[in-house]
A and B are shown apart, each in its own frame.
Chain A
Amino acid sequence: MEHKLLKVDGLHKSYGAAQVLRGISFDLKRGETLSLIGPSGSGKSTCLRCLNFLEKPTSGEIVLEGERIGRTGSGRGERLMTDRELAPQRREIGMVFQLFYLWPHLNVRDNVALASIKAGGMHRDEAYALADEMLDKVHLRRKADEYPERLSGGQQQRVAIARALAQKPKLMLFDEPTSALDPELVGEVLGVIRELAEEGRSMILVTHEIRFARDVADRVIFMDGGVVVEEGPACDVIERPSMERTRAFLGQVGIGAGLSK
């Protein structure tokens, strides 16, 4: 029995000469919430996007429940999967984007239900019932018939979360889910994410909301320059960082080491 849900080993990503990821390794237990923090350009979003192969890693292994993501064959026959081959693997991984990317030509219910019908093989009624259930989870069932442009940013992001939840994913990825929101809308999105963490979902969260990461994440990884600088239980890394670079970063974002509860 595989103990870890996700294993990431030696992830590298380069764009030409620019090395964005330089050997990232970590793993995730089932039901665990992991937060990736670090300065802009540290590679945390790229790392997240490699996990479902929206970015193709230059090298490294990603294994979800014993299944290798994005690569097939072995030895000389090894190659990257095509997007078509990746589709079933990506269905196991829900992703929430910084800019929501709801589909503007579909109403909220169709946004959430589309993949269940087209990729999950569900009947329309079943998919709509599931969509309504997921919209309940993000407290937006009343908006099911609206089009995305009629919703606030916070509501759009919650619909995007419902869309990912409808995949019944083994793993949820959040890529700076509140960075594009007006300050007064951040809370409602964080509230939903907190509820999901408390349900015991397996999640990886890239965020600039350091306090939120401390409160919600089980573990935190601090990245800088494409490497993991420090990793550990959320409270330890954020309140008692052991590395000078972590302390400097936390200082810059206004959280001195020894943050009071």
Chain B
Amino acid sequence: MTTVVDILPHILALLGDGALTAAQIAAGAAAIAFVGGLVLAVVNVFTQLVAVRLAIAAYTEWMRNVPALAHLFLLYFGLASVGVRLTPLAAAIVGLGLVGAAVLCDVFSAGLRALHVGQREAALAVGLTPLQALRFIVLPQVLRLTLPAIGNYASQLVKDTSIASAIAAPEIMFFARNLVTSTFETPLIYASAIALYAAIVLPVSWLFARLERRLAAAGGMGGAR
């Protein structure tokens, strides 16, 4: 008879593979979310075109008000039925990335609006172009202002990778459920899965906390603007 000790390495190896996949999904989705969210927010706040603002509002509302799982199904099964086959990994990255872009669009938009308009005016007044003002003056401050919210989003994203198991992306929960079916070591397996999520999320949270402290120490954002 096999004991828990015999199968533990097997469990950890598979869940470890899953953790790697989860990290890939989170990293890929975070990249899409960050770039997409930033571009959408900048356009959203600075455009004069009402139609563009409405389109962005419609996108963010839609993405945030429909469960992410439904978006993954649409990307994975829905696209497949019209002949576009994404791998589960790609569908998970794109799906969570598009949802994240909506979340971060709201975060960055709020940050851009919170920054005093005089900061940008002073940048234009010294002869910077609007793009330079954005890059050297506005965005560095907005990123600092929104860092806590970005950190929250990043932790949430790592946890949300678990729903990719529903489209058979080989991440932690996917392997955990398979292992439970084949070994019936339910408590051990889910406890290991939880430990793995914590092992990813905690460093992410720690990194953001550290970044916030460092930027605060580097001066400049606490006082009057």
Q: Residues on A close to B: CB < 8 A?
A: 52, 54, 83-84, 86-88, 90-91, 93-95, 97, 99, 101-107, 114-115, 118-120, 146-150, 160, 163-164, 167
Report the Cα distance A105→B223, complex, angstroms: 11
| Contact in complex: A106, B220 (CB < 8 Å) | yes
> CA–CA, A59 to B122, complex, Å?
24
**B141 within 8 Å of A (CB atoms):** yes
Q: What residues on B are CB-neighbors of A115 within 8 Å?
A: 126-128
Query: A103, B119: Cβ atoms under 8 Å?
Result: yes
Contact assessment for B127 and A91 in the assembled complex, using a CB-CB cutoff below 8 Å: yes
Of the four ranges (under 10, 10 to 19, 20 to 34, 35 or more), the interface on chain B belongs to 20 to 34
Check A150 against B219 for contact (C-beta < 8 Å): yes
> Using Cβ atoms and an 8 Å threshold, which residues of chain A touch B122?
95, 97, 101-103, 160
Which residues of B are found within 8 Å of A83, using beta-carbon distances? 124, 129-130
**Can you report 7 residue pairs joining A to B where beta carbons are below 8 Å apart?**
A90-B124, A90-B127, A97-B122, A105-B220, A147-B218, A147-B220, A149-B222
Judge whether A86 and B124 touch: CB under 8 Å: yes
Nearest neighbor of B127 in chain A, beta-carbon distance: A91
Q: Is the CB of A95 within 8 A of B125?
A: yes
* B225 on interface, CB distance cutoff 8 Å: yes
Kindly report which residue of chain A lies nearest to residue B215, judged by CB atoms.
A105
Q: How far is the CA of A115 from the CA of B100 in the complex (A)?
A: 35
* Cβ-defined contact, A147 with B126, below 8 A: no
**Chain B residues with CB below 8 A from A120, complex form:** 127
Complex CA gap A149/B132 in Å reads 23
A101/B128 contact (C-beta < 8 A), A106-B220, A147-B219 known: no
The A interface is mostly helix, strand or loop, or mixed, namely: mixed
Q: How far is the CA of A163 from the CA of B118 in the complex (A)?
A: 15
A91-B126, A119-B129 provided; 9 other pairs, C-beta below 8 A?
Answer: A84-B131, A87-B128, A101-B225, A104-B141, A104-B221, A104-B225, A119-B132, A147-B220, A164-B126
Q: With A105-B140, A105-B141, A119-B132 given, is the CB distance from A149 to B223 under 8 Å?
A: yes
In the complex, are the beta carbons of B220 and A101 less than 8 A apart? no
A90, A94, A99, A119: the one within 8 Å of B118 (CB): A99
**What 9 A-B pairs are tightest by C-beta distance, nearest first?**
A91-B127, A149-B223, A147-B219, A115-B126, A101-B122, A104-B220, A119-B127, A101-B118, A147-B220
Q: In the complex where A97-B118, A103-B119, A104-B141 touch, is A119 in contact with B126 (Cβ < 8 A)?
A: yes
Binding site for A on B (CB under 8 A): 116, 118-119, 121-132, 136-137, 140-141, 144, 218-225
Distance (whole angstroms) from the CB of B57 to the closest CB of chain A: 25
Q: Which residue of A lies closest to B225 (CB)?
A: A104
* A107 CB to nearest B CB, Å: 7
Chain A residues in 8 Å Cβ range of B225: 101, 104
Partner of B121, one of A54, A107, A160, A163: A54
Nearest B-chain residue to A180, judged by Cβ: B224
A149 and B219: CB pair below 8 A? yes
Please, which residues of chain A bring their CB within 8 A of the CB of B136? 114, 118
- Taking a contact as CB atoms under 8 Å apart, the answer to whether B126 and A167 are in contact is yes
User: Of all chain A residues, which has the CB nearest B144?
Assistant: A105
**A residues near B123, Cβ cutoff 8 Å:** 103
Complex-state Cα separation, A120 to B132, whole angstroms: 12
Known: A119-B132, A150-B219. A88 touches B127 (CB 8 A): yes
> CA separation between A210 and B12, bound complex, in Å?
79
A164 CB contacts on chain B under 8 angstroms: 125-126
User: Considering only CB atoms, which chain A residue lies closest to B133 in the complex?
Assistant: A83
Nearest Cβ on chain A to B10's Cβ, whole angstroms: 51
Q: Report the minimum CB–CB distance from A60 to chain B (whole Å).
A: 20
Residue from B119, B140, B219, B221 within 8 A of A101 (CB atoms): B119
* C-alpha gap A91/B119 in the complex (Å): 16
CA distance A102 to B137 in the complex (A): 10
Q: Which of B126, B140, B141 contacts A90 (CB 8 A)?
A: B126
Task: Indicate if the CB atoms of B127 and A167 lie closer than 8 Å.
Answer: yes
Closest residue of chain A to B122, judged by CB? A101
Let me know if A149 and B124 touch, CB within 8 A.
no
Q: A104 contacts which chain B residues (CB < 8 A)?
A: 141, 219-221, 223, 225
Closest to B135 in A: A118
Chain B residues with CB below 8 A from A167, complex form? 126-127
A-chain residues with CB within 8 Å of residue B118 when the two chains form the complex: 97, 99, 101
Neighbouring B residues of A84 by C-beta, 8 Å? 129-131
Q: Which residues of B contact A118 (CB under 8 A)?
A: 128, 132, 136
Given contacts A84-B130, A97-B118, A114-B136, contact A54 B219 (CB under 8 A): no
